[in-house]
Amino acid sequence: MKNIVATSVALILATTAVSAADLGMGFSAGGKIVSEYTYDAENMNVTLTPEVGYTLAIGRDIDFTMSTDLEIYDDQFVTDAMFDGVTLDFKASSMMMKSLEAYTKTSYDIENGDRGEITLGLSFVF
């Protein structure tokens, strides 16, 4: 139990969000690292989510992003299977008003060659 607590604390302290870098010409890159410990299952998990983006400025900005979740640690460091079953997530969004965002999103499973469901939506933040 001591090892689990020590590992959890070390990984949580080492876990930071990667800030997006503006690459110029509308392109950006960034991501985040999430570290979670499920107490009842005694399971430690660390996931890296890299993201690249492009902003098309044509009167109203349209943001295009592509990201994926890569499992780095699952009670042990994941090495061989890190890229198995990788799914790329795609999203295009535009702010219609200050609090209203319109978006469309889908995914693509590289291993199976399958496209995910296409979703169109509106998001209102208040």
Domain boundaries, the chain: 2-124
Interval 37-67: pLDDT, tens: 999 988 999 999 999 999 998 888 999 999 9
For residues 118 and 125, is the Cβ–Cβ distance under 8 A? no
Specify the amino acid at residue 15: T
Question: Residue 68: which of 46, 90, 40, 98 has the closest Cα?
Answer: 90
Lowest mean pLDDT among 10-14, 18-22, 114-118: 10-14
Residue 112 is predicted with a pLDDT of 87
Q: Give the model confidence (pLDDT) of 5-16 as tens digits.
A: 445 545 554 544
- Give the Cα separation of 116 and 5 in Å (integer): 38
Q: What is the mean pLDDT of residues 60-79?
A: 88
**The predicted structure's pLDDT at residue 86:** 85
What's residue 22's pLDDT? 86
Residues 6+ apart with CB under 8 A from 24: none
